[in-house]
Homo-oligomer: A and B are copies of this chain.
Amino acid sequence: MCELLGMNANVPTDIRFSFSGLARRGGGAGPHRDGFGIAFYDGRAARFFHDPEPAAHSEIARFLGAHAIKSLTVIAHIRQANSGAVSLANTHPFTRELWGRVWTYAHNGQLRGVKKIPLNFYAPVGTTDSEHAFCWMLDQLRARFDALPSPARLDREVHRLSAQLARMGVFNMLLSDGRTLYAFCGKKLSCLTRCAPFGKATLIDEDRSVNFAEETGPDDCVTVVATGPLTSDEDWTVIEPGTLLALRDGQIANSVCLKPPTRKGAAKGVLTC
């Protein structure tokens, strides 16, 4: 399985602490040695760094560890190949343009038979089931809406498409259009929202901790989504399978579930499914 890392914040935020924990799993502490990629949004555009080399030994990953690229929305992925060879074309996150916005997507899991689904506008460059599913999602969104719909309408449609793909296998996914970071949990995904009062956090994968109270402002808010918790001393929430989180302004703005929410509180970053 691959590992996902997503971040959405209300102020440009440095992801290096979380990313260094993830990168260690890329051939270092973990088996995910088949490449990595990361996208940093800047408005409707994003800059990408891809490397088919293991993240733990990648010069690009080392560069990213040494230089802060602050962003409101970040999607990162480290790969353990199961569908498609190890190559740049198969390295997540994948990207396409839709409605004059850069869309970015990373997937963890396997989707049986998804490559048999015919595509219309978008075509995969690589050979992964993941990229085929991404092209299909964007095809569906393009066919359904003429232009970027309201957040609530897009949230519902992304959930509907994600749930459809999840029926074909394991579909844990991060997706962004630069306005919202979507995180769909098909099987395994956790999240954590950091707002004031900020505290200390210690990485699970390396002996490294940070005191966010010294790094942040009183109004800063950031939500991190990852395949598994990255820190040992913070209260990560395990996302219920079938749930799509829509992250905006650093918090869970909406959470769409396969079954109705059992309790309120999304605005406070509490998972409602």
- A122 and B99 alpha carbons, distance in the complex (Å): 8
Whether the Cβ atoms of A44 and B89 lie closer than 8 Å is yes
Residue A263, interface by CB 8 Å = no
Contacts of A63 in B (CB 8 A): 59-60, 63
In contact, A47 and B97 (Cβ under 8 angstroms): no
Determine if A67 is an interface residue (Cβ-Cβ < 8 Å).
yes
| Copies of this chain, tallied across the complex | 2
By beta carbon, the residue of chain B nearest A67 is B59
Q: Which of A48-78 contact B (CB under 8 A)?
A: 48-51, 59-60, 63, 67
The residues of B that contact A47 with a CB separation of less than 8 Å are: 48-51, 88
Contact A125 B102 (CB under 8 A): yes
Say which residue of B48, B67, B89, B101 sits within 8 Å of A125 (CB atoms): B101
Task: List 10 A-B pairs, minimum CB-CB distance, nearest first.
Answer: A45-B89, A100-B123, A42-B88, A45-B88, A63-B63, A47-B50, A59-B67, A45-B125, A44-B125, A100-B125
Known: A47-B88, A96-B96. 11 other contacts (CB 8 A): A42-B87, A45-B87, A45-B89, A47-B48, A47-B49, A48-B48, A59-B63, A60-B63, A97-B123, A99-B123, A101-B125
CA of A48 to CA of B38 in the docked complex: distance in angstroms?
12
Separation of A102 and B89 alpha carbons in the complex (Å): 9
CA A49 to CA B63, docked complex, whole Å:
12
Q: Does A28 contact B (CB under 8 A)?
A: no
Complex Cα spacing A88 to B46, Å: 7
- Whether a CB of chain B sits under 8 angstroms from the CB of A169 is no
Q: Residues of B contacting A30 with CB < 8 Å?
A: none
Interface size class of A (residues with CB under 8 A): 20 to 34
* Contact status of A43 and B87, CB under 8 A, knowing A48-B48, A67-B59: yes
Q: Is A124 an interface residue (CB 8 A)?
A: yes
A135 to chain B: closest residue by CB: B97
Contact between A45 and B126 (Cβ–Cβ < 8 Å)? Answer: yes
Taken residue by residue from 78 to 101, chain A's Cβ proximity to chain B (1 for < 8 Å, 0 otherwise) reads as 000000000111000000110111
Chain B residues closer than 8 Å to A51, beta-carbon distance: 47
User: Which of B42, B50, B99 is the one whose CB lies under 8 Å from A89?
Assistant: B42
Can you list 11 contacts pairing A with B, beta carbon distance less than 8 Å?
A42-B87, A42-B88, A42-B89, A44-B125, A47-B48, A48-B48, A49-B49, A59-B63, A60-B63, A101-B125, A121-B121
